[in-house]
Amino acid sequence: MSEIKVKDKNIVVPGEELAEGMDFIPSGAAFRENEKIYANRIGLVQLEGRVVKVIPLAGKYNPERNDMVIGKVVDILMSGWRVDLLSSYDAVLNIRDAFDRYIKKGEDLTKFLQIGDWISAKITNVTSQKLVDLTTKGHNLGKLQPGRIMKISPYKVPRVIGKKGSMMKMIQRATDCKITVGQNGVIWISGHPEMEILAYDTIKKIDEEAHTSGLTERIKQMLEKETGKKLEDEGDQI
């Protein structure tokens, strides 16, 4: 006899029993021990049929292949740059994954990227020992232009982006800022200084209230009040 012990959207703590019996499958931050399923991190329960999933609410960014991230150059190596992704591990950007033009052996790499520069990049590979490779070849990747950098919890990034990017589109339309969101929770904002601050505050609010319902509507009202613009509903917004 199988039984679910929690409700959808419940907040669970490590070691909390989620389900009993072999009819359910653990996913995300959940694990099975004997007949029972437990959570192994603080997170939000998501029940989808037979799958018991726990979406973590805290923790450092876990680098994954094909993620778009924003990082800071912290060191210059023999053939590339070391990049801090605010994760448990640093990443390496190799010269040949960074620029199309040929770079001679021994050439001064600070001509291209200096220590302290922020870049947007894509993760090309993560090994079992968590060595992370980056590339800056691609649309919207490379050194970031002057703007504002903010950091949020990486687990709130999906909420900041919204369904099919709806939340992000709304903030960009309201503030006329260029915004890039890295999967590691680092966000780059560039635009009119006052609007940058509004975008910053809006994203901060989403970060704090990500697990509550009716957030999109509240954010819309907040942006409309601050900018005086009327934001049209998009078809795909729920």
Instruction: Give whole-number Cα distances, 233 to 137, 166, 173, 230, 237, in Å.
Output: 35, 10, 12, 10, 7
- Considering only residues 38, 112, 118, 188, which one is a binding residue for another protein as defined by CB under 8 A? 38
- Binding residues for another protein, how many (CB under 8 A)? 33
* Cα 7 to Cα 46: distance, rounded to the nearest angstrom: 8
Strand order in the sheet with 36-39: 3-4, 17-20, 36-39, 30-33
| 231 touching another protein, by CB under 8 A | no
Measured CA angle at 100 (ends 61, 91), to 5 deg: 20
The DSSP result for 130-180, as a single string, is --EEEE--STT-EEPPS-EEEE--GGGHHHHH-GGGHHHHHHHHHH--EEE
| 51 touching another protein, by CB under 8 A | no
- Considering only residues 7, 101, 105, 128, which one is a binding residue for another protein as defined by CB under 8 A? 128
**String marking each residue 194-223 x if it binds another protein according to CB under 8 A:** --------------xx-xx-----x--xx-
* Cα 130 to Cα 94: distance, rounded to the nearest angstrom: 16
| 17 touching another protein, by CB under 8 A | yes
Short-list 118, 116, 134, CA closest to 126: 134
Selected range binding another protein among 33-41, 95-103, 105-113, 181-189, rule: CB under 8 A: 33-41
* Cα 192 to Cα 178: distance, rounded to the nearest angstrom: 10
Selected range binding another protein among 30-38, 72-80, 111-119, 157-165, rule: CB under 8 A: 30-38
Name residues contacting another protein, limited to 130-169 (CB under 8 A): 130
| 33 touching another protein, by CB under 8 A | yes
- Considering only residues 62, 124, 172, 180, which one is a binding residue for another protein as defined by CB under 8 A? 62
Q: Which is nearer to another protein, 41 or 143 (CB)?
A: 41
Binding site for another protein (CB under 8 A): 11, 13-17, 29, 31, 33, 38, 40-42, 56-60, 62, 88-90, 128-130, 208-209, 211-212, 218, 221-222, 225
